[in-house]
């Protein structure tokens, strides 16, 4: 099992030189976050990730969580690791100091999250869901609810969950049956069952705050009759102390392909007197509020894809340097380590290029969240939010699909040893496999992209994105090789994406099935081009740093340029070829009857 070292140098390059920390720290309330402070914070987080969380990753995979007498027990060392996590204040990184947070930009907090997820994906799921719950309460909770729950959630003394899915209601949330009944004191009583509830119970903290989607007392059928409710594991007294145990409990844990340490619970609400619940916001607006959590979680799941891919790449590179097998194609008379073989080099460099493109894209979206939250100009905030909304399904789906490829390639680099559990390569592949599924399956992300994010506004948000790509192409206009190659590949990909967008906008109103059929291909095309755009910006930043000598690490920067060239030649080059599949629409996809499958 390989060790994990947080990729601090790559993180700082993206934050400082590609995305631009300065444009974020210029925002109101973030002026105290300079580059030196960020470097210190990342270094300290890297110690916790590499020294505490990463060694527990194989332990959690082997032991798993277990349910004993109605209580979930996590694997050895996990509860202590969580204690160290909250003692360091890491849970509250992006949240306001008034609630006990650090007040850091989302850009920086995203880099921290990458470390937690890369070191130990199953562990990182717990703060991921807590963060989503915090976001919802910050936006739509009452002052009393904020005062009661946010201080403990932000510090991590309590954790949060998101309860949507039921046995008969997966993606179709309109089929939810869990129901709320209002009582005289203004609270509610919830009755129903939820499945796939991540960290629905555990031994990390003394309370868990469940956010549960349930049908309103007079809720109509479908999603418009749903509301969002707070259901604490233990009721909270007026003085903040814990009261009676609520009527909410885990019935069982799912036995999963991966992320074994993360307890995935079937939760029962109201089997006895009814689970005490408190309405969040207004009745019948639960779906709207839940999407605050979902968008946060979808970005975080895309980040999980990046993180586990980085972990797999590190393992593959380490193995390739040390595994001696066969003679080199040229220049050697004896056996060499497999990193000398061209196809292994191709695999490693492709993994590296994909990871750098994903990191650039995710961090750029995180900076967009900071701008949408804090910029003093309303139009700028709205534009940033539109860009974030456009790219979140791409981050979630393209990054997690790519992560599966990378983790599979890691197994391939290991050869037969990759298929043996002891190496740990299989765990990364198994753990990563859930990421294209939860928080909205990737097919749903593709439909959301073409329907809500592209066709609905006539492609306006996409045109804004393409205009920014054009600006980058303009900056590359005078480039010599190798930057000229990324320019030409990006220009071809940009043209393909523009044509595909026009096709979607024209087709969706009259033939939605035809437009929906290649939606996953459209998303892949968008991901390749968006990743290429960030790689082009990376190349520009590397070229500028090399020319000025300010960076002081020429070898590192030259490596960046080679990686960008590889992305252009081996990945971005695929983009134009996807256009034909998109414009073919649903000609074959919808052609067969059910009995022909």
Catalytic residues: 439
Alpha-carbon span 204 to 184, nearest angstrom: 34
163 by Cβ neighbours in 10 Å (0-12 / 13-18 / 19+) ranks as: buried
Alpha-carbon span 132 to 292, nearest angstrom: 8
594 by Cβ neighbours in 10 Å (0-12 / 13-18 / 19+) ranks as: exposed
- The string over 574-591, giving b where at least 16 C-beta atoms fall within 10 Å of a residue's C-beta and e elsewhere, is ebbebbebbbebbeeeee
Strands 159-163 and 208-215: parallel
Helix H or strand E segment including 539: helix 519-548
Alpha-carbon span 293 to 162, nearest angstrom: 8
Cα–Cα–Cα angle for 419, 424, 429, rounded to 5 degrees: 70
Please name every residue paired with 276 in a beta bridge, in sequence order, or none if there are none.
189
Alpha-carbon span 461 to 370, nearest angstrom: 18
Non-local (6+) Cβ contacts of 347 within 8 A are 316, 409, 412, 413
Torsion-angle region of 172 (φ positive above 0: left; ψ -120 to 50: alpha; else: beta): beta
Closest CA to 404 of 421, 438, 422, 428: 428
Alpha-carbon span 533 to 567, nearest angstrom: 11
Composition of the chain by helix, strand, coil, percent to 5: 60, 15, 25
Alpha-carbon span 286 to 389, nearest angstrom: 19
């Amino acid at each position: 099992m390989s060790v994990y070292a947080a990729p601090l140098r790559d993180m700082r390059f993206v934050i400082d030189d590609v995305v631009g920390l300065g444009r974020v720290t210029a925002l109101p309330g973030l002026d105290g976050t300079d580059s030196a402070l960020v470097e210190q914070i990342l270094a300290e987080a890297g110690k916790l990730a590499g020294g505490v969380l990463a060694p527990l990753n194989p332990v959690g995979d082997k032991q798993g969580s277990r349910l004993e007498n109605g209580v979930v027990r996590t694997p050895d060392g996990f509860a202590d690791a969580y204690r160290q996590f909250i003692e360091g204040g890491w849970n509250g990184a992006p949240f306001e100091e008034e609630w006990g947070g650090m007040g850091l930009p989302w850009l920086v907090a995203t880099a921290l999250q990458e470390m937690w997820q890369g070191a130990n994906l199953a562990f990182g799921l717990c703060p991921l869901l807590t963060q989503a719950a915090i976001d919802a309460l910050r936006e739509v909770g009452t002052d009393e609810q904020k005062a009661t729950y946010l201080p403990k959630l932000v510090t991590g003394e309590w954790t949060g969950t998101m309860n949507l899915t039921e046995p008969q209601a997966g993606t179709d949330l309109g089929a939810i049956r869990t129901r709320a009944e209002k009582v005289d004191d203004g609270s509610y009583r919830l009755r129903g069952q939820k499945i796939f509830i991540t960290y629905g119970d555990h031994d990390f903290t003394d309370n868990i705050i469940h956010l549960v989607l349930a049908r309103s007392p007079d809720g109509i059928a479908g999603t418009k009759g749903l509301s969002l409710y707070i259901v604490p594991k233990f009721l909270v007294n007026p003085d903040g102390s814990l009261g009676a145990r609520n009527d909410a409990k885990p019935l069982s844990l799912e036995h999963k392909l991966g992320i074994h340490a993360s307890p995935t619970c079937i939760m029962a609400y109201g089997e006895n007197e009814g689970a005490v619940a408190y309405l969040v916001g207004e009745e019948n607006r639960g779906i709207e509020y839940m999407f605050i959590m979902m968008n946060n979680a979808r970005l975080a799941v895309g980040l999980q894809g990046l993180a586990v891919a980085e972990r797999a790449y590190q393992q593959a590179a380490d193995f390739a340097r040390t595994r001696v097998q066969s003679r080199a194609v040229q220049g050697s008379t004896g056996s060499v380590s497999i990193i000398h073989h061209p196809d292994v080099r191709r695999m490693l460099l492709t993994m590296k290029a994909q990871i750098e493109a994903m990191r650039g894209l995710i961090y750029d979206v995180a900076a967009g969240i900071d701008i949408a939250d804090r910029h003093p100009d309303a139009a700028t905030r709205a534009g940033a939010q539109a860009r974030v909304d456009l790219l979140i399904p791409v981050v979630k789906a393209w990054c997690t699909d790519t992560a599966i490829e990378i983790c599979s390639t890691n197994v391939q680099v290991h050869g037969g040893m990759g298929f043996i559990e002891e190496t740990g390569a299989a765990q990364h592949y198994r753990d990563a496999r859930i990421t294209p599924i939860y928080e909205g399956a990737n097919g749903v992300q593709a439909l959301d992209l073409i329907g809500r994010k592209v066709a609905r506004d006539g492609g306006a948000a996409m045109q804004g994105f393409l205009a920014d790509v054009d600006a980058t192409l303009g900056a590359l206009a005078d480039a010599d090789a190798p930057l000229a190659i990324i320019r030409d590949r990006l220009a071809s990909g940009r043209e393909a994406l523009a044509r595909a967008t026009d096709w979607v906008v024209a087709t969706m109103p009259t033939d939605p099935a035809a437009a929906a059929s290649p939606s996953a291909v459209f998303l892949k095309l968008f991901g390749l081009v968006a990743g290429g755009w960030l790689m082009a910006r990376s190349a520009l930043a590397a070229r500028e740093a090399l020319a000025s000598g300010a960076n002081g690490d020429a070898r590192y920067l030259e490596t960046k340029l080679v990686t960008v060239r590889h992305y252009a030649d081996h990945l971005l080059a695929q983009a134009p070829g996807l256009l034909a599949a998109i414009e073919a629409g649903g000609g074959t996809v919808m052609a067969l009857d059910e009995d022909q499958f």
